[in-house]
Chain A
Amino acid sequence: MKNAETVYRLIPCPSFDVEGTESWLSDMAEQGLILTKDGLFMGFATFEKGRPQKIRYRLEAAPNGTSMWGPNEGEPDEEFLELSKKYGWEYIAKRGDFHIYRSFSNEARELNTDPQVQAISLSKIKSRLKSNMFYFAFWILIWPLLKIKGALISILLPLGFWRGISLLGLMLWNVLDPAVEFFRINALRKSLLADGYINHKKNWKKSRHIYLLTHYGKVFFTVLWIVLFLFWYQADTLGEHEIPISDFEGEAPFATIADIYPSGSYQNMDMGHSNTYRTYGDFFAPVNYSWAEIGNITLPTGEYFSCILRIEYHELAFEWAAKAVAQDYYRKNTFLNKDVNPVNINAPEADYFKAYSEHGMTFFVIRQGKKVLSILYMPMTHDIAPSLSELADLFAGSIA
């Protein structure tokens, strides 16, 4: 016996579009495309080619969801399957929060004969979606923001403007999706309570292109972003962006260890790590350095000084961005951090200056116009270590 030909179609409407999905499946049946059992998966529908016929498809709210890890593996209750079968309805597939049934008989009574009761069944989905909305909003937006203490711009700078914006866009998109679903289901519920009417002949073609574009666009960008991020992360972890400071040519746009005692003889100390820098930039932040240096200076008098210096330097295209980055650096290191102590020194001439210490290290955050410096300074010798005021003046002056 010849097997029926299988045809695949992209599903043209979202899972919560009850009217659109029912209308589309019925229209497909009128073209001779009959949905196969469990024929909806990952945005594709599988049909068998048969004779054109009128089939009613109905989406029924799944009381416990359709997840295979949920009760009854997301399948309908056996009692309801028997009840619906008795009245001419066959369970065929599930999608989103709905089970899909169909009837080949025009005489079979509707699955739902009371719109108020159908609205009750949608209330369960609404509650689940509400929880999802808050769950997604918390884990995708709120918790990460709390974790970085709101230092959004400074965290995203190394990613670059477009990668950062696309990441934020994807995060927002993933938060908005459950919200849109929630509001659409609620709107359907209210419509049932008001009109008692579901349009089983909705024109699903009207919004098909927009849906396909947005849905598959999101999938594409999410996958692309993950792939690009993995490449970037791998390169970052392997230190492929790191360049030895000894290879640096020219003058750094900020003070380094050598500038602390310019009359001395500078040497960087090879500790098997560090003494590297990284540079990056785009239109939003044209010049950026991430500088990790351990070095020593021998003065003409024979005195010896060594220290560790870690610097983040940014030249932003906009002053408001520079202000935000400077505040980010200060906030993410000091907010709710019991180990941080303010350092009381005379502030240098700068548009923004903060100094604090933690575990023997001193931190400066300095802004001059659109330039920002975040400095970690730890002296390894103390005999001729400069005062913190002198250092603050040096760094602030180097970016004035």
Chain B
Amino acid sequence: MPKKSMETLTESMFYVLLAFTRGPLCGTDASELIEKVSEGRVCIGPATLYTLLAKFEKEKYIKEISVEGRRRTYEITEKGLKACQSELERLYLCIKDAQAMGLRRTCDEER
């Protein structure tokens, strides 16, 4: 059965939702937090971030809680939190299955 939209989150989607699990944020703060947490590995483009904020708001994963000038602050909803947790669970299962099949991370093999 084909997956519905947003059923599996891309890396960008996951990290944006993940950022909001820390508390209410505006777009710029979310982007900076993601870059910091991922140690520069995940750099979300401004258009990608902006599209995701609009999409998540529409899907009720986040909701706008305040507007100060141009800055809009959002917080994650129960639905968004569940989606994030569901994706986290899926990723853990991927790792578990990979390990069960004998696949190791490159850095583990080098040790």
User: Which of A36-44, A114-122, A298-306, A345-353 lies at the interface with chain B?
Assistant: A114-122
Judging by beta carbons under 8 Å apart, are A83 and B51 in contact? no
| A residues 182-229 in Cβ contact with B at 8 Å | none
A92 at the A/B interface (Cβ < 8 Å)? no
In angstroms, Cα B12 to Cα A90, docked, is 23
Which residues of B are interface residues toward A (Cβ below 8 A)? 5, 10-13, 27-28, 31, 43-52, 54-55, 70-72
A32 at the A/B interface (Cβ < 8 Å)? no
Nearest CB on A from B9, distance (A): 9
Judging by beta carbons under 8 Å apart, are A117 and B52 in contact? yes
Judging by beta carbons under 8 Å apart, are B70 and A84 in contact? no
Nearest CB on B from A398, distance (A): 69
Subset of 5 A-B contacts with CB under 8 Å:
A79-B50, A83-B49, A87-B45, A110-B45, A118-B51
- CB contacts (< 8 Å) of B70 on chain A: these are 78-79, 81-82
Partner of B44, one of A58, A113, A118: A113
The main secondary structure of chain B at its interface with chain A is helix
- CB contacts (< 8 Å) of A86 on chain B: these are 28, 46
Judging by beta carbons under 8 Å apart, are A60 and B47 in contact? yes
Partner of A113, one of B5, B12, B28: B12
**Chain B, Cβ-Cβ closest to A122:** B51
In angstroms, Cα B5 to Cα A84, docked, is 26
- CB contacts (< 8 Å) of B55 on chain A: these are 117, 120
Judging by beta carbons under 8 Å apart, are B11 and A114 in contact? yes
A115-152 interface bits toward B, Cβ cutoff 8 Å, 1 = contact, 0 = none: 01110110000000000000000000000000000000
Judging by beta carbons under 8 Å apart, are B27 and A117 in contact? no
- CB contacts (< 8 Å) of A81 on chain B: these are 70
Nearest CB on A from B53, distance (A): 9
A160 at the A/B interface (Cβ < 8 Å)? no
- CB contacts (< 8 Å) of B48 on chain A: these are 111-114, 117-118
